[in-house]
Chains A and B, each alone.
Chain A
């Protein structure tokens, strides 16, 4: 029991790091995914082809491989080590966030593309007929409707993102899983430690699931 109590601070700081990884990479990933979805839907091959390649690459390789490639791979190049990016790319923290963000943007971009395409043409025409220019139309009409459409699928993606952060422990980050393993090997009580870590994950995902449910309910009448 004492062991469990004394482990809590390091598990809590691990949970805090996990929370940061989740929040930052979800926020950045969401921003990036709008660009990915738009490029993917663009009429220009110059925009569409990179988006298709990006989505294909990041959905077709394991996230763990992506994390390793960014963490170990980037430092291989002298050009990278000499560039302004190095202070960022030598930090496991930022490498994890970059990998998680890119991975998340690829998946969310595809989900969002489907949502954008599902917006009915009449909704867009009504906006055009009132003289809305393209950007305004996208921001005020298409994007809100697309988000409503993708909310259930995006909720899934957010939850998977929480689990995915555990891979950051492989590049020395003491997030929740990393912290639990470290404490477990010190205390020889792996089951207890991982149960506690599991409860932390459970709490985070419960909060996400509740938020999604609340959002869906709020938007239900606006169907």
Chain B
């Protein structure tokens, strides 16, 4: 883990300031500020409904924040108000560009069902980045080897286990060479015996110095791989710190209770 190298780079990979998001009457994020340095692994934890997934989805604009700023490697995502007064991205091309640099892995994998694994992986490099197809295939094969799925190159998602699908989804994300990786509960939909193979791939990425933001219920994993842990409660950051601080000596009562509940599972 290279905390010192990460700290040396002054521009944070991800910076979020005063983020607000409401769904109807329900205010899910109530002013959240957060930053992740280059090469840093940040785990977002909290009970369901705490806003951790929404926060993650605001970073690549899958949810549009109502207020606040999002900066990716120092580039602020420009927002404007539409006629109804709701916040909207000012430039959809900027959003597309930002998303090309921020990979995301979903709880339900979301591999495209009409394509083989290989086709899933080369789709965005070829059609979004305009890369040469042969090169994209060669790169995809390398990534499949890395996640241990070389044999599943021509399989369709419906022919694979959840753990295999999620590893393929990670390979699909890696094919875009993302500067930031967002993981939205990547193991929550998996059978317990399949969780390990996905966590192993993620651990390798963390060891290679990837910048990762991770929403998870895997407390042991969060403690082991992350540099910073953020505990959210009802749309606010209740507490954050190093894994040792937060897991070893939580300051807030809510965080202590949450960790006790999660640990008791």
Contacts and interface: CB of A to CB of B under 8 A. Distances in A.
B257 interface: no
Q: Counting chain B CB atoms within 10 Å of each CB, which of A123, A131, A140, A144 scores highest?
A: A131
Contacts of A130: 99-100, 103, 123-124, 128, 172-173, 176
Interface residues of B, number: 31
A184 B89 CA distance: 69
Most A-side CB within 10 Å, residue of B97, B100, B110, B115 = B110
A126 B112 contact: yes
B100 A221 contact: no
A132 B127 contact: yes
A136 B124 CA distance: 10
Interface string B81-105: 0000000000011001111101110
B113 interface: yes
B100 to A, nearest CB: 4
Contacts of A132: 96, 124, 127-128
B156 interface: yes
B60 A126 contact: no
B127 to A, nearest CB: 6
Interface in A8-51: none
B158 interface: yes
Given A125-B106, A131-B99, A148 B62 contact: no
A131 B124 contact: yes
Contacts of A148: 114
B130 to A, nearest CB: 11
B93 A133 contact: yes
Task: With a 10 A CB-CB cut-off, give which of A129, A133, A144, A219 has the most chain B CB atoms.
Answer: A129
Interface in A71-89: none
B67 to A, nearest CB: 22
A140 B158 contact: no
Nearest to B158: A223
A129 B98 CA distance: 9
A65 interface: no
Contacts of A141: 112
A128 interface: yes
Contacts of B110: 122-123, 125-126
B113 A222 contact: yes
Contacts of A221: 156, 158-159
A145 interface: yes
Which 9 pairs across A and B sit closest by C-beta, in order of nearness?
A: A131-B100, A126-B110, A131-B99, A130-B124, A122-B110, A129-B104, A131-B96, A222-B114, A222-B156
13 contacts: A123-B110, A126-B111, A126-B112, A127-B112, A129-B99, A130-B123, A131-B96, A131-B128, A132-B124, A133-B92, A221-B159, A222-B115, A222-B158
Interface of A: 122-123, 125-134, 136, 140-141, 144-145, 148, 219, 221-223
Interface of B: 60, 62, 92-93, 96-100, 102-104, 106, 108, 110-115, 123-124, 127-128, 156, 158-159, 169, 172-173, 176
